[in-house]
Copies of this chain bind each other. A is one copy, B any other.
Amino acid sequence: MNSRTVTQDHLDETLDEHKNGIPDIVIGRLPVYLRTLKLLAAEGQEVASSQELGERLGISSAQIRKDLSHFGEFGKQGTGYNVAYLCKQLEKILKVDTVWPVVLVGAGYLGHALAAYNGFENRGFRIVGVFDNDPNKIGNKVGDTILIEPLSNIPLTVRRHKVQIAIIAVPAEAAQGVSDVLVEAGIKSILCYAPLTLNLPNHVRVEYIDPVIHFQHMTFYLEKNTSE
């Protein structure tokens, strides 16, 4: 097949995708460690043990130590990790010690929510363009500053800002067409909110966010109601 479809985090373990011999599923956990460490730092904590991190995250301390050991020695036996230092190192490993420009396609409610979200910039990302094909939306602003542009402007913005990352926040029926435009413009990573599997060339990485996938995972563990 000519498409590489990294569909769900759930599937990553099976992809045998390694970089420097590090399993992709380990890479996938690093952002979660980073988020927790930043939270600890914000709470004024200077040192954290793998046990403490594990308790916060609901995973074993051994797993955390093993994951981090792929990248070097970050803590001394018995003393725990220096929170600020480990944050810096994880940011460097994940390459978010810089700000990545991102384009967003789809200026509906979800697009507005994403454009208004103030948690991107301090974690390494900035939305530099918002695009929609609805003539009623084009020219309006999302958030305070970003103008909604037609999809035909995508290539220019991608080139100008050297954008590699895009968010697709359009309905499912429009998503494949949008992804084709993005790939053609040079986008290399796509975060897709539309509930489908995109057909993409091998060099483009895609991750999906689909709330129903999470719900259906949860219901397995619930007892059905007898009524409703």
Please list the residues of chain A having a beta carbon within 8 angstroms of any beta carbon in chain B.
1, 3-15, 19, 25, 27-32, 34-36, 39, 55-60, 63, 93-96, 98-102, 108-110, 112-114, 116-117, 119-120, 123-125, 161-162, 164-165, 167, 172, 188-189, 191, 195-197, 205, 207, 209-222, 224-225, 227-228
Shortest Cβ distance from residue A94 to the other chain B in the assembled complex, whole angstroms: 5
Residues of B within 8 A of A217 (CB): 27-28, 30-31, 94, 207
Copies in the complex: 2
Q: Point out the residue from B14, B58, B196 that lies within 8 Å of A4, measured CB to CB.
A: B58
Given contacts A19-B220, A211-B114, A225-B162, contact A195 B35 (CB under 8 A): yes
The answer on a CB contact under 8 Å between B195 and A102 is no
The answer on a CB contact under 8 Å between A209 and B209 is yes
List 16 contacting pairs A-B, 8 Å CB cutoff, sorted by A: A7-B32, A10-B25, A14-B60, A30-B220, A31-B213, A31-B216, A36-B197, A56-B197, A95-B220, A109-B116, A120-B212, A123-B215, A161-B228, A162-B228, A189-B219, A209-B211
The answer on a CB contact under 8 Å between B31 and A96 is no
The answer on a CB contact under 8 Å between A113 and B124 is no
In the assembled complex, the Cα of A218 lies from the Cα of B157 at a distance in Å of 20
Q: Point out the residue from B5, B12, B98, B125 that lies within 8 Å of A215, measured CB to CB.
A: B125
The answer on a CB contact under 8 Å between B13 and A123 is no
The answer on a CB contact under 8 Å between B39 and A10 is no
The answer on a CB contact under 8 Å between B12 and A32 is no
The answer on a CB contact under 8 Å between A214 and B209 is yes
Q: Point out the residue from B57, B109, B113 that lies within 8 Å of A11, measured CB to CB.
A: B57
For the A-B complex with A8-B29, A100-B222, A207-B217 known, give 5 more contacts whose Cβ atoms are closer than 8 Å.
A6-B58, A31-B217, A35-B213, A109-B116, A209-B211
Given contacts A10-B25, A25-B13, contact A34 B216 (CB under 8 A): yes
Given contacts A109-B109, A216-B94, contact A210 B59 (CB under 8 A): no
